[in-house]
Chains A and B, each alone.
Chain A
Amino acid sequence: QTKRITGTITSAEDGMSIPGVSVMVKGTTVGTITNLDGVYEIQAPEDAEVLIFSFVGMKTIEAPINGSVVNAVLEPDVLGLDEVMVVAFGTAKKESLTGSAAVVGQKEIESRSVSSVAQVLTGSTTGIQTTAGSGQPGSSPAIRIRGVGTLNTSASPLIILDGIQYEGNISSLNPGDISSMTVLKDAASTALYGSRAANGVIIITTKTGSKGAESLRVSLKAQAGVIGQALPDYEAVNAQNYYELQSEAFAQARYWSGNNDNIGDARAYAYENIYSQLRYNPFVGVANDQIVGSDGKINPNAVVGFPDLDWYDAAKQTGYRQNYDLSLAGGSEKTSYYYSLGYLDERGYVIKSDYERFNTRFNIDFDVRDWFQMGSNIYGTLITSNIGSLESATYANPFRNARMTAPIYPIFLVDQETGDYILDGAGEKQYDDGGLHSRPINAGRNAIAELNWNNDDYKRNNVGNRSYAKFTLMEGLSATINAGVDIQNYHYKGFENAEIGDGAPTGRMDESRYRRTTVNFNQLVNYEKTINELHNLSVMVGHESYKREYTYQRGFKNQFIVDGIYELNNFVNTSTNTSYTTNKTTEGYFARLKYNYDNKYYIEGSYRRDGSSAFHKDVRWGNFYSVGGSWRIDQEEFISSVNWVNNLKLRASYGEVGNDNIGSYGYQALYETYPNAETPGIRWSTVGNTALAWEVNKTFDIAVDFALFDKISGTLEWYNRKSDDLLYEMPLPPTMGLLDQPRNIASLVNRGVEIHLQGEIVRTSDFTWNMSLMGSTIDNEITSIPDPFVNGTKRWSEGHSIYDFWLRKFYDVNPENGATRFHVWEDVTNEAGEVIGAELGYDDNGEPVLTEDMNDAGYGYVGASAFPTLQGSIGNNFTFKGFTLTTLLTYSLGGEMYDGIYRGMLESTVGESYHPDVMNSWMEPGDVAAFPRLQYANSDLYAASDFFLISSDYLNIRNITLSYDFSNQLIKNWGLGQLSVFVTGENLYMFTARKGLNPTFNFSGTQDGMAYNPSRSFILGFNVQF
């Protein structure tokens, strides 16, 4: 028996009706949404008493059913108190949480124009660090939650997609399909994921329809715009300065290697003969021996007469993105569904970089019987992408190439006498591979030609399914079975041309494929009970199994047969033909108990026991747990009378979670197949470690959540995250014959304070201004490590963070000879004579011990860390009538980074470009200079040291969006439910300490000279619903 109820939902702000409001019958799964006119109709059970109305950004209200018409007025929810969040194996109201979690909602996701939803996480919540991400279309930023609690490079959080672990790329998901992302930060909220949760969890939930009366909503979002380069390139000197500076480097090289006895002769020789080094004279009309005068200055007549000297420019194009999302959401009495189609087409700002993605998703739920629900969620993604600017391609890498090539080398062959192009028989320009004039750098190569002539592309497709069946066994007791399968197929094809580069002279073809299949099952039993309307109890027990199979095949052949056919069949000689399969499995048993007394005092505990195939059978099972409690002070009588306190909650939790991310077979000592010509062979490949076991993260978290004056809300939080038995591929001394062994090597701690404030600064009838401020600190320290060791520019030892720089100490430039002087680090030994550290050396007179030999300089902690002291974001939201302007700034303060790119541009190498700072180099005895003398092939002058450290502070204008919502009254006449237009810019500007620097390249404060510089976008679009 049901009864029919209808009504209209309007907004308290403007009195307009609101389409899309969720309407639920309390205590049931019966629900619907309002139509374009804000009207709903629902068939409620005869005994139904209350309806619940909820809408994003509005306060949820409950209304008694006291007739067949129930209207409601919704108020804006500036404080976000009623949020229902998706959490581990279920949902929870924010007010009930005992752990630390944050939600990025549908509105925040929809307001951004990004190809990967991970980009929305930047600056979205406290305690989360992201990189800028690569400018390669389709790439995603790396994410770290609450510092770095693991030493392996992969410290990425676990991604849960609709309840099941997801290992595909986040960028494969259509942002338009996502209704929320929950970031679980502490062990209390992640413990149910046990062994996989040490680096935090991000739960991604896709959109669904609603059951109830027949409804259907169609939504279309279309957007398009231009993509450009976000960060500037490094500065470089011009051709004239370059010739002068290289002459000096040449002269000093001759002098110091003894080819001239005094610097005067060396300079005279170098000025006259510098052309013999550089081999290109772009100053048309100036004789090769007259480019630099006897005074060391460029010939006043030297004007650049070569065309096409800008290698950056040649690699670039105008990028664009177009993106269309169509979705249908609706339902009927016993069924709800969501169906979407998405198309993204993005072209990067570097040639041969693009990304095309088709998405579809179909979510459906059935109420089969009162006691039986089923649902399924199917998705498919097709991706095609060119990755010609791939970051690992050394010589063909356009960024590295453009940065290192001096501004005297043309892209195309030119006649050095006239500066005219040397055309081929067909009258076309020809790429210059440097052969004709013996270009001293990148001989035989031309990155632009290789970019244009090579192919580097992949196709990736993902299909997956999430299915569940839920049985209600009695009131409050239910059992759910979830199954999830994700299949990712990847197919890479690379062709290298036969003219220039590694493919010459025969051409070569590289083709690889892999398939990754993950299968995940879990079974859950839930019991909920309320006793005397005071004691609320909920219990869950469950079991989960996980299996991943990764199978890979690669073929690589050279010597092509027919031009233009890019298949292995078209090549003669096989260089590689290989395949392998890896399997990983885990299994876990878990339980959770939640109890609260009168919605005031909450206590929650969870436990999980996990086994992993990554460890030896004697140590493969681990136990993980958490406990948490919270006290909603605002529910106490003594404070409920204080009417400016909307919410006040104190919460604390502690938990232990694990990590087994150390490869699939790390514990096994192995020999791998390795034939010797035609005879079979194997080689020693790993030493194994049967004692290898879980890495454990133990997090304590305490926080105050508050909301005051109906205006301001926020959270102040402190955490202490201790990580023990850290997994690492420990570098062995190479004398051991292999280079590393997986070990549990160390303990470290991450601590931090996180503050998040948001509130309404101004509210008038037409104008509102909301603001959000976030700040997070990270204090990282290694608390124990039996064998300290050096890792690149860092050294890991007790009392230091994992990103404390360990470098030579630059002292000054010797005014006598222009050499770099290092302040020598001397060993500090303990009583047993073991070296325990390093300190700067001073002689008996207290004078610093200096050396000009980098090999004698030693290494020590230079007092700098890549961890910032404070980072966060500033968000603003302005509305005026139908206009909304949102801005997001992100910032970082107090960290440092090692600028290896800058170092490369200071060092003198024949034909490689210079940073303008080298114009301040030492020249004559007595000069007090900031930069050492110029000299070829001297590794001491610019040996890696703290000289190259620079502040990593930045302020990034991450996003500005302006949108306009047409009024409901107006568009109703057009038959529409919602219509908005917007313009948005991503990654608009970054203020940094040095032009070209990318402080957000990674977390460890270094840069990769081959990285695809991040992109910037300006996008226009509209969003319509009917």
Chain B
Amino acid sequence: CSEDFLQTVPTDSVSTEIALGTTDNMMLALNGVHRAMYAQNGRISNYAGEQFMIPTAEYGASDALHSTTGNGWHRARLQWNMHTNATRTDVSFVWYHYYNVIGSVNNIINAAEELQPSDELDNVLGQAYTYRAWAHFNLVRYFGKAYMIGNPSSDLGVPIMLATEPPYEGLERNTVQQVYDQIITDLTTAFSHFEGATSRNDLSHLNIDVARGIAARVYLTIGDWPNAASYANAARQDYPLMSESEYKSGFNSISNPEWMWGSKMIQDQTSYYYSYFYYCSNNFNGSQNRSNPKFMNHNLYNQMSETDYRRDLILADCPSTFDDWDSGENAGRYASEEEYDEAVAEYRDIVDNSSRHNMVPYLHIKLQQADGPTISPMDVLHMRAAEMYLIEAEALAHDNSSAAADVLFELVSARDADYEKSTNTGQALIDEILLQRRFELFLEGHRWFDMLRNDEELDLTGSGANPDLYLDGYKQDRPSVNDDWMFRIPQRELDANPNMAQND
């Protein structure tokens, strides 16, 4: 036989040289990263990118609550048994997901040195640097001590990966400060590439606005208020706030004008029972949703204005299907079983669920399947304009700027026609903004980080959470005095990387 006989290549892959050899092909490789935002990973677990990360940033925190043990998904998270256990795949996934994004964009960044500069290449590189900053930012928030409550120059962060190449030996952890410095360096590089770059293809891609939005998050997290405010303001300019009807349409489509960054999902790229809506929506048709409806912290709901239409998405008077008509949470609410049955039927219509779905009071209908109780994949939201308003307002308030209340008013008046511009100042205004942030960004994957950032304790008293379900996740001291808020470094990394140190 000739030597060609022994030269075989796969039919569903291309070599790295081809993949990174041209700007056009680099765009393909970048599309693979966009896909990783929502697709099932299939390597370390079947979790589906940010669709797993959003619930991870909610359950374990205070606002979006589980009603029962369900079928087990995220139960360990809310009992604070997940992120405190280095051997759990859930923890490994968080780590791997972001480092996979970093490695993927490092390949692009490092190979681009060989290519001719062009507007197209600038578009690719602007996105690559933004991803690298974004992924390091998420990692350092999960695995390091929060910036504003620790000693960033000495606290251990995560390894900064700028090249992913042989011999693939693990690096040691950089300090939290070093990680944030690199994040800001990468964002600065991204801005310079985005200037003059070709525009993005669709909402799953990053652009200068998304990069600014990430910068705003970063500066907010490290307490650089002027930068936080100005980047947040610049980021949102092209994205109008959504209307009431859009707000009530289920947070399931990238066609929403307020979305700045989101992933479109199509049927044949579904993530099955690993989707964000499976974990979080009350009318996805899976055993998790049917058995374990998610509701809003009662204390939070009770602080919402009667005229705020966001309140309509929380069904405080929904009957409980876990109790008999006259007992438990239903006690005293219905005159007869028939009346209870009518209420159940009425709420089934509102929730648009199936007869097998359970319901509880304070059930949320913020996330809704667009086509009724199905398992169809819904689009995934990564960033929207309202968050930018909230960042801007909060940062301005910290700087005692009078514009803070104006920015807040612009947002909240769009949600509550009767809202009057706040007359609060100082900490009271900051607290009002943070409360509005909880209403507005409920179940969107911000709560865990906000609690860290603001050093909030976790206390579910009066929230409606069952203490026998939540156990250790019912009450936790605030992050500045409680290192259990830091995710453990995965055992898998420790096993393979002799330079790695665990969070103690």
A interface list, Cβ under 8 A from B? 250, 253-254, 256-259, 273, 276-277, 395, 433-435, 438, 440-445, 501-502, 504-506, 545, 547, 558, 573-577, 580-587, 611-613, 617, 620, 664-665, 668-685, 687-688, 731-739, 741, 789-790, 834-835, 854-855, 910-911, 936-939, 944
Q: Shortest Cβ distance from B359 into chain A, in angstroms?
A: 12
> Is the beta-carbon distance between B168 and A741 smaller than 8 angstroms?
yes
Known: A583-B8, A671-B16, A736-B103. A731 touches B492 (CB 8 A): yes
> Is the beta-carbon distance between A664 and B8 smaller than 8 angstroms?
yes
A734's partner among B33, B36, B95 (CB-CB below 8 A) is B95
Hey, which chain B residues are within 8 Å of A789, CB to CB?
A: 495-496
Hey, which chain B residues are within 8 Å of A254, CB to CB?
A: 467-468
> Is the beta-carbon distance between B472 and A257 smaller than 8 angstroms?
yes
Bound Cα distance from A790 to B100, whole angstroms: 21
Q: What would be 15 A-B contacts, judged by CB atoms less than 8 Å apart?
A: A256-B472, A257-B467, A258-B474, A259-B471, A443-B71, A504-B286, A580-B11, A613-B6, A671-B15, A673-B12, A675-B31, A681-B34, A682-B31, A684-B19, A734-B96
In this complex, what residue of B is CB-closest to A691?
A: B166
Bound Cα distance from A443 to B204, whole angstroms: 35
Known: A435-B356, A737-B106. A440 touches B69 (CB 8 A): yes
B16's partner among A441, A506, A688, A854 (CB-CB below 8 A) is A688
B6's partner among A580, A612, A685, A790 (CB-CB below 8 A) is A612
> Is the beta-carbon distance between B35 and A681 smaller than 8 angstroms?
yes
Comparing B84-92, B177-185, B401-409, B431-439, the segment that makes contact with chain A is B84-92
Q: Shortest Cβ distance from B376 into chain A, in angstroms?
A: 8
Q: Shortest Cβ distance from A77 into chain B, in angstroms?
A: 45
Hey, which chain A residues are within 8 Å of B28, CB to CB?
A: 671, 680-682
Q: Which residues in window 187-209 of B have CB below 8 A to A?
A: 201-202, 204
Known: A250-B468, A444-B291. A259 touches B474 (CB 8 A): yes
> Is the beta-carbon distance between A677 and B29 smaller than 8 angstroms?
no
Known: A617-B3, A665-B8, A732-B496. A444 touches B287 (CB 8 A): yes
Hey, which chain A residues are within 8 Å of B123, CB to CB?
A: none
Q: Shortest Cβ distance from A560 into chain B, in angstroms?
A: 13
Comparing B210-218, B262-270, B441-449, the segment that makes contact with chain A is B262-270
Bound Cα distance from A257 to B30, whole angstroms: 46
> Is the beta-carbon distance between A835 and B498 smaller than 8 angstroms?
yes
> Is the beta-carbon distance between B493 and A574 smaller than 8 angstroms?
no
Bound Cα distance from A900 to B39, whole angstroms: 31
Hey, which chain B residues are within 8 Å of A583, CB to CB?
A: 8
Known: A687-B168, A737-B106. A671 touches B29 (CB 8 A): yes
> Is the beta-carbon distance between A675 and B6 smaller than 8 angstroms?
no
> Is the beta-carbon distance between A276 and B103 smaller than 8 angstroms?
no
> Is the beta-carbon distance between B268 and A574 smaller than 8 angstroms?
yes
> Is the beta-carbon distance between A506 and B375 smaller than 8 angstroms?
yes
> Is the beta-carbon distance between A671 and B356 smaller than 8 angstroms?
no
Whether a CB of chain A sits under 8 angstroms from the CB of B150 is no
> Is the beta-carbon distance between B44 and A672 smaller than 8 angstroms?
no
Bound Cα distance from A673 to B10, whole angstroms: 11
Q: Shortest Cβ distance from B158 into chain A, in angstroms?
A: 8
B71's partner among A258, A442, A505, A620 (CB-CB below 8 A) is A442
Most A-side CB within 10 Å, residue of B6, B202, B266, B467: B6
Bound Cα distance from A738 to B161, whole angstroms: 13
Whether a CB of chain A sits under 8 angstroms from the CB of B427 is no
> Is the beta-carbon distance between B6 and A505 smaller than 8 angstroms?
no
Known: A672-B13, A737-B102, A790-B495. A855 touches B468 (CB 8 A): no
A677's partner among B84, B265, B373 (CB-CB below 8 A) is B265
A855's partner among B32, B358, B488 (CB-CB below 8 A) is B488
Could you give, for residues 473-504 of chain B, a 1 whenever the CB lies within 8 Å of some chain A CB and a 0 otherwise?
01100000000000010111101111010100
> Is the beta-carbon distance between A581 and B15 smaller than 8 angstroms?
no
Q: Shortest Cβ distance from A640 into chain B, in angstroms?
A: 51
> Is the beta-carbon distance between A737 and B100 smaller than 8 angstroms?
yes
> Is the beta-carbon distance between B374 and A506 smaller than 8 angstroms?
yes
> Is the beta-carbon distance between A580 and B12 smaller than 8 angstroms?
yes
Bound Cα distance from A501 to B493, whole angstroms: 35
> Is the beta-carbon distance between A939 and B85 smaller than 8 angstroms?
yes
Known: A505-B354, A733-B500, A834-B498. A685 touches B13 (CB 8 A): yes
Hey, which chain A residues are within 8 Å of B101, CB to CB?
A: 737
Known: A611-B6, A674-B35, A682-B29. A576 touches B268 (CB 8 A): yes
> Is the beta-carbon distance between B291 and A684 smaller than 8 angstroms?
no
Q: Shortest Cβ distance from B283 into chain A, in angstroms?
A: 11
Known: A575-B272, A670-B10, A790-B495. A585 touches B69 (CB 8 A): no
> Is the beta-carbon distance between B285 and A733 smaller than 8 angstroms?
no
B10's partner among A577, A580, A734 (CB-CB below 8 A) is A580
A575's partner among B10, B103, B268 (CB-CB below 8 A) is B268
Hey, which chain A residues are within 8 Å of B286, CB to CB?
A: 444, 504
> Is the beta-carbon distance between B6 and A671 smaller than 8 angstroms?
no
> Is the beta-carbon distance between B9 and A665 smaller than 8 angstroms?
yes
B interface list, Cβ under 8 A from A? 1, 3, 5-16, 18-19, 25, 28-36, 39, 43-44, 68-72, 76, 79, 81, 84-87, 92, 95-96, 99-104, 106-107, 158-159, 161, 164, 166, 168-171, 201-202, 204, 263-270, 272-273, 285-288, 290-292, 322, 354, 356, 358, 373-376, 467-468, 470-472, 474-475, 488, 490-493, 495-498, 500, 502
In this complex, what residue of B is CB-closest to A254?
A: B468
What would 7 more interface pairs be, CB under 8 Å, given A675-B269, A739-B96?
A582-B8, A664-B10, A669-B16, A671-B32, A678-B266, A738-B103, A790-B496
In this complex, what residue of A is CB-closest to B88?
A: A939
> Is the beta-carbon distance between A910 and B69 smaller than 8 angstroms?
yes
> Is the beta-carbon distance between A737 and B69 smaller than 8 angstroms?
no
> Is the beta-carbon distance between A679 and B202 smaller than 8 angstroms?
yes
Bound Cα distance from A220 to B31, whole angstroms: 63
Hey, which chain B residues are within 8 Å of A688, CB to CB?
A: 16
Hey, which chain A residues are within 8 Å of B104, CB to CB?
A: 683-684, 737
A573's partner among B3, B31, B267 (CB-CB below 8 A) is B267
Bound Cα distance from A195 to B421, whole angstroms: 79
> Is the beta-carbon distance between A438 and B488 smaller than 8 angstroms?
no
Known: A434-B291, A669-B15, A736-B164. A676 touches B495 (CB 8 A): no
Hey, which chain A residues are within 8 Å of B502, CB to CB?
A: 855
Q: Shortest Cβ distance from A938 into chain B, in angstroms?
A: 8
> Is the beta-carbon distance between B358 and A733 smaller than 8 angstroms?
no
> Is the beta-carbon distance between A676 and B6 smaller than 8 angstroms?
no
Q: Shortest Cβ distance from B330 into chain A, in angstroms?
A: 14
Hey, which chain A residues are within 8 Å of B99, CB to CB?
A: 734-737
Bound Cα distance from A496 to B72, whole angstroms: 21
Hey, which chain A residues are within 8 Å of B31, CB to CB?
A: 674-676, 679-682
In this complex, what residue of A is CB-closest to B97?
A: A734
Bound Cα distance from A854 to B493, whole angstroms: 17
> Is the beta-carbon distance between B291 and A733 smaller than 8 angstroms?
no
Q: Shortest Cβ distance from A433 into chain B, in angstroms?
A: 8
Hey, which chain B residues are within 8 Å of A617, CB to CB?
A: 3, 6-7
Known: A435-B356, A736-B168. A668 touches B15 (CB 8 A): yes
Bound Cα distance from A937 to B28, whole angstroms: 44
Bound Cα distance from A735 to B160, whole angstroms: 9
Q: Shortest Cβ distance from A886 into chain B, in angstroms?
A: 48
Known: A580-B10, A683-B29, A683-B104. A505 touches B373 (CB 8 A): yes
Q: Shortest Cβ distance from A250 into chain B, in angstroms?
A: 7
> Is the beta-carbon distance between B12 and A445 smaller than 8 angstroms?
no
In this complex, what residue of A is CB-closest to B204?
A: A676
Hey, which chain A residues are within 8 Å of B86, CB to CB?
A: 855
Q: Shortest Cβ distance from A105 into chain B, in angstroms?
A: 37
A737's partner among B103, B265, B356, B472 (CB-CB below 8 A) is B103
Bound Cα distance from A669 to B168, whole angstroms: 14
A585's partner among B5, B84, B498 (CB-CB below 8 A) is B5
Known: A612-B6, A937-B79. A504 touches B285 (CB 8 A): yes
Hey, which chain A residues are within 8 Å of B30, CB to CB?
A: 681
Hey, which chain B residues are within 8 Å of A573, CB to CB?
A: 267-268, 376
> Is the beta-carbon distance between B13 and A671 smaller than 8 angstroms?
yes
In this complex, what residue of A is CB-closest to B372?
A: A505
